[in-house]
Chain A
């Protein structure tokens, strides 16, 4: 019985490999240039994510936000109440956070705002902003940073971003909004949403168990 799972895995791998064999060589990519230009973008991935598959992306952001709500609600009973001794902070980390935080934020906003013209987009920009917050939390301590970033404002920003995204989706559906400006707005909202979600995960994990 011990090797049954191994045999099952091996059979699965061989089956998938046999199915994949016929995928190669890959056929030519269908022409996407005119379609991408019609959406008002240069990056074909952005035209797919925010144009042709817009509702898929919006509900993906909704799934992400629901997962963050789950993290927030489930960890609330486990929140530590007694204050934690702050980590001994090194001046090196403090200075590095001071120097790097500005460029990180600027680069994240640039990635979100130019995501339809080149590599980038809302999701990588949000991940970048979230890692900037992680750097700040490492330098200052997660509890102190959590006290400075007011949680009700962040929650309002998160839910407001979702409402604005769904409103933009309705605008695309009923009013026929299209173009590069719409993509910039959607990317900025997605970046805000992803960054706040990453901060929620970071802050709740750090303040419930263990340290950053």
Chain B
């Protein structure tokens, strides 16, 4: 895929994720929306690193232009931190469900 097409797809994915984050009332759906938006951000970084007919940024793989190694290093950070924070927020969703027996933000925000 071309870099520009991939970044357009990435921006669309982030928009879709934010839409889910704002419009859904269920907390788990909100986390899924954040997940999709994070996937869009990762795809955007990979699209930024893309060069036409590039080789991987590893020494000794022949001549020619290579892909940009710096966004790849950022992607590594993004994936790991995203996994950790998603696991932690799912734990708090479990906690909320245990205490308040609801995952609907409107019900969770009501005073008891």
Cβ of A211 within 8 Å of any chain B Cβ, yes or no, is no
Cβ of A89 within 8 Å of any chain B Cβ, yes or no, is no
Compute how far the CA of A75 lies from the CA of B91 in the bound complex, rounded to whole angstroms: 7
Closest beta carbon of chain A to B93's beta carbon, Å? 10
Interface range on chain A (Cβ under 8 Å from partner) = 35 or more
Compute how far the CA of A49 lies from the CA of B92 in the bound complex, rounded to whole angstroms: 31
Cβ of A24 within 8 Å of any chain B Cβ, yes or no, is yes
Compute how far the CA of A139 lies from the CA of B80 in the bound complex, rounded to whole angstroms: 26
Interface pick from A62-70, A91-99, A104-112, A151-159: A62-70
Which B residues lie within 8 Å of A26 (CB)?
3, 48, 50-51, 68
Q: List A165-190 residues whose CB lies under 8 Å from chain B.
A: none
Q: Is the CB of A53 within 8 A of B73?
A: yes
Q: Is the CB of A13 within 8 A of B91?
A: no
Interface range on chain B (Cβ under 8 Å from partner) = 35 or more
The count of A-to-B residue pairs whose CB atoms sit within 8 angstroms is 117
Cβ of A140 within 8 Å of any chain B Cβ, yes or no, is no
Closest beta carbon of chain A to B81's beta carbon, Å? 6
Closest beta carbon of chain B to A10's beta carbon, Å? 8
Compute how far the CA of A105 lies from the CA of B90 in the bound complex, rounded to whole angstroms: 28
Partner pick for A123 among B50, B65, B68, B79, CB 8 A cutoff? B79
Cβ of A78 within 8 Å of any chain B Cβ, yes or no, is yes
Q: Is the CB of A45 within 8 A of B76?
A: yes
Closest beta carbon of chain B to A163's beta carbon, Å? 19
Partner pick for B81 among A16, A43, A49, A63, CB 8 A cutoff? A63
In the complex, which residue of chain A has the Cβ closest to the Cβ of B44? A20
Q: A26-B68, A45-B72 are in contact. List 20 more A-B contacts (CB 8 A).
A: A6-B23, A13-B12, A16-B14, A20-B7, A26-B48, A26-B51, A37-B59, A42-B59, A44-B59, A45-B73, A48-B69, A48-B73, A56-B77, A57-B77, A68-B87, A70-B91, A74-B91, A75-B91, A78-B98, A197-B84
